[in-house]
Chain A
Amino acid sequence: MALAKITSIEGRGIHVPGDDIDTDRIIPARFMKCVTFDGLGEYLFHDVKFDQEGNQKQHVLNDPAFRDASILIAGSNFGCGSSREHAPQSLYRAGFRGVIAGNFAEIFFGNSINLGMPCVSMTVENREKIIRLVEVDPKIEIKIDILDLNVVAGDLILPIDIREDARNSLINGAWDPLEELVSTSSSVEEVAGNLFYR
């Protein structure tokens, strides 16, 4: 089955403040006791959103004005910590389709691209501009343009960055590499055969 060519993502934004948002924050480990990824969206940012009695905390993630947001705007080093794919899976299953941040932890970034969820980098100055815009008008449509490498929102056109291979994968509909990896089995066998160990 051919994958969708992802050249842009459009949707409303939400700003989750703070640098170094780690994978335990995105989805606490206790919610990973599962054998499928189904239903993980429910636990996204659980302990950021709820107190220990299960009551909603005062947080932008609980603000009905941002309920339909599908683009997350974050600080630097987003997704640091664990390799758990549960983190991007919970974002995706909660309806997020793209993340704008200062930069990303490497494993999180790769896991997200594998799901077809672009993670793009933007300077802090430009992120502040877009955050102000979203806070004034939560309904404003944001477009992450992977082809032209910018984010468009209202009158703003702001440059973004994404690793070249990830960009290629997204725009060519090759963000899930499995089919290509399977297709080279004879070369794989050759490399395996030449190794000094079995």
Chain B
Amino acid sequence: MTSKNLFQKVWDAHAVGKLANGQTQLFVGRHLIHEVTSPQAFGMLREKGLPVRYPERTFATVDHIVPTNEASEPYSDALADAMIKELRKNCEDTGVTFFDVSSGNQGIVHVVGPEQGLTQPGMTIACGDSHTSTHGAFGAIAFGVGTSQVRDLLATQTMALNPLKVRRIEVNGKLAPGVYAKDVILHIIRTLGVNGGTGFAYEYAGNVFDEFSMEERMTACNMSIEGGARVGYVNPDQKTFEYLKGRPYAPTGQQWDLAVDQWKSFSSDQDCKYDDIVLIDASEISPTVTWGINPSQAISIDESIPSPDGVSSAEKESIEEALEYMKLVGGQPIKGTPIDVAFIGSCTNGRLSDLEEVASLIKGHRVKEGIKAIVVPGSQIVSKLAQEKGLDEVFTEAGFEWRNAGCSMCLAMNPDKLIGDQLCASSSNRNFKGRQGSPTGRTMLMSPTMVAAAAISGEISDSRLVFNS
């Protein structure tokens, strides 16, 4: 048998056949839905009189529009209230499991899937959200899809797709202290470009990824799409299996052992072929911060903001556009840029280990006066576990607001928004113009620890100096 990489194995196990246009009809084992991109799909099914074909394979939660500081419905935003009720009704009507706010299991879809044990190696997973690549951390092939494909998945549990090429990205060496998974993925995107991954699945590997926890792997896989790669994954290993064991939807008893054998078989074969291989030296990665309006516009904390002088004309235009929007000056150090808001949360960095790491550093520190700092757990379970460890008190004592689970300020489809041209140090995944709710709001992406350092000093800072670590 020819050797294959994980992508090819998972693809082959789920391919139904070729469609007339040459695409593959791919079976999707787990379909995750949320309130923003599913209502239109349910509407289309109703119009066509089609049922949900495999309701037991679709799971829903509500995240984008949930207010993080209102406990009960009806929400003060009538549109948000209509959206949650629409999802609830669609799930009731079709038999889809809904992790509702009242269940204690609600949260950001890419936090909920893994923590429920729904995300498992060797699966195909899809969700109407581009950060679905997160689930690849488990050795699943996980695609972000549009609403028409959500409809296709509800109706048939399949979608039309082309296979992707696979680029192996090996990060080897030793990460410096204060350098996190977020810095690694920002560095990868900076190196390969914001569209370098178009047409590719990224296989993340090397000793750095081997040593990463599952939550760190999720942070990296989450941002694959920010580099243009629709899919990002890590081969499953003992850590993957240990993370899954005992979770509500993980196999149990004899089924568990069978599943682990299956899962192992999906790992990329040692001598398999890749369409491309990129090697990255871990020692070259520093705490990284974005300065521009897309996630590849990132530099290390010790670097200066790029200057439009002396570069090609196309690059000059994009630097000038970014500097103008960000109200930054090329050639100046990024360190010392004053901030207005600090946001810790999102499907990239809203998990328990993210909160634990920051909480372990901020004791004895205070958020600088005038800075609005919020912490938003990625799910109700993350929130509960954090509270059991007293993390909420650590954060509130330091001057952070402790909020309910949701997407919050990552995309501001809820009351958490920037105002005017506020600058936000953010642990989220996108720094697009207007992303955080104000058309002139400014976003700088970084690790949660760097966000905390900025909150405490009131400006973009090297967390290693702020926390003496």
Check A178 against B439 for contact (C-beta < 8 Å): no
Of B21, B129, B262, B434, the residue contacting A83 (CB under 8 A) is: B129
A32-B413, A37-B40, A77-B194 in contact; A106/B155 too (CB < 8 A)?
A: no
Check A83 against B194 for contact (C-beta < 8 Å): no
Check A18 against B321 for contact (C-beta < 8 Å): yes
Check B22 against A165 for contact (C-beta < 8 Å): yes
- B212-270, CB < 8 A from A: 225, 228, 230, 251, 258-259, 262
Assess whether A90 is interfacial by the CB under 8 Å rule.
no
Complex Cα distance, B148 from A86, in Å, reads 11
Check A196 against B262 for contact (C-beta < 8 Å): yes
Assess whether A107 is interfacial by the CB under 8 Å rule.
yes
Check B15 against A191 for contact (C-beta < 8 Å): yes
Assess whether A181 is interfacial by the CB under 8 Å rule.
yes
Of A29, A163, A174, the residue contacting B412 (CB under 8 A) is: A29
Assess whether A4 is interfacial by the CB under 8 Å rule.
no
Of B15, B17, B86, B151, the residue contacting A35 (CB under 8 A) is: B86
Assess whether A59 is interfacial by the CB under 8 Å rule.
no
* Interface-facing stretch out of A6-14, A19-27, A65-73, A143-151: A19-27
Check B17 against A187 for contact (C-beta < 8 Å): yes
Which residues on the A side are within 8 Å of B54 (C-beta)? 192
Of B14, B23, B80, chain A has the most CB atoms within 10 Å of the CB of B23
Assess whether A110 is interfacial by the CB under 8 Å rule.
yes
- B371-420, CB < 8 A from A: 411-413, 417, 420
Contact pattern, B 322-362, Cβ under 8 Å of A = 1, otherwise 0: 00000000000000000000000000000000000000000
Check A115 against B148 for contact (C-beta < 8 Å): yes
Contact pattern, A 169-189, Cβ under 8 Å of B = 1, otherwise 0: 100101011101110110110
Check B259 against A197 for contact (C-beta < 8 Å): yes
Assess whether B432 is interfacial by the CB under 8 Å rule.
yes
Assess whether B159 is interfacial by the CB under 8 Å rule.
yes
Assess whether A105 is interfacial by the CB under 8 Å rule.
yes
Complex Cα distance, B20 from A165, in Å, reads 9
CB of A76 to closest CB in B, whole Å: 7
- Chain B residues within 8 Å of A, Cβ to Cβ: 13-17, 19-23, 25, 27, 29, 36-37, 39-40, 43, 48, 50, 53-54, 56, 64-65, 77, 79-80, 82-83, 86, 120, 122-123, 128-130, 132, 144-149, 151-152, 155-160, 162, 194-195, 198-199, 225, 228, 230, 251, 258-259, 262, 294, 314, 317-318, 321, 411-413, 417, 420, 430, 432-435, 437-440
CB-based closest 7 A-B pairs = A111-B146, A85-B146, A35-B39, A83-B144, A33-B79, A168-B21, A47-B439
- Chain A residues within 8 Å of B, Cβ to Cβ: 18-20, 22, 24-25, 28-30, 32-37, 47, 51-52, 76-77, 80-86, 88-89, 103, 105-107, 110-111, 114-115, 163-166, 168-169, 172, 174, 176-178, 180-182, 184-185, 187-188, 191-192, 194-198
12 contacts between A and B (CB under 8 A): A24-B430, A29-B413, A33-B65, A37-B40, A37-B147, A47-B439, A51-B439, A84-B128, A106-B198, A114-B149, A178-B148, A197-B120
